[in-house]
Amino acid sequence: MLEPSKLNIEDAVFTFIDVETTGLSPRAARVCEVAAISFRGAERVGTLAELVNPGGPIPPEVSKIHGITDEMVKDSPAFGAVAPRLLDMLEGSVIVAHNAEFDTAFLSAELERVGLKFPELPVLDTLLLARRNWKFKSNRLGNIAAELNIPNGSWHRALSDVEMTRKIFEHFVNVFRTAGAVTVADLIEKSGGKK
């Protein structure tokens, strides 16, 4: 199988990921929701949206941000039960996230806790792409969506955030294609990453 970064943009599977968490530190806080959608071109090839029992209380001030409460996750699976499906979706794909370092750090920590490893895959960060190639008033996900006239649904829930990230990414890719981008490596270069 071809290394994902060597693929042409239309042949690559892009998996958009987002997590909601109980706090900001991947060492101390836990994932309480994970969402991923995979696309090859315009075809959706996979969806995962799962509340996760973090194994401890969600601080009320954090619940205010994403709306996920202890009550909502009490009967949800632990991360270890969701991990195999997530890893299956990620396999051979290009990961896309907004502020990808946050999501990948949390997923890496959660996978490590259950004896698994986060896969070594190309990662495209719509935050870095926005900073390097556009001049938005703010590079927050909702602000970029608003400036690009992309409607946003329920705020700060993992699935709506990945859908929004996908729409923003598609906008960026169309602009890059017009400028001559053909491969995933070309997109990685646009974000300042290495091929």
Task: Point out the residues that are catalytic.
Answer: 156
In terms of phi and psi (left: phi > 0; alpha: psi -120 to 50; beta: otherwise), the region of 132 is alpha
Torsion sign (Cα): 149, 153, 156, 159: negative
Q: Are 46 and 36 in contact (CB under 8 A)?
A: yes
Per-residue tokens: 167? 């729409």
Classify the C-alpha dihedral 143-139-117-109 as positive or negative: negative
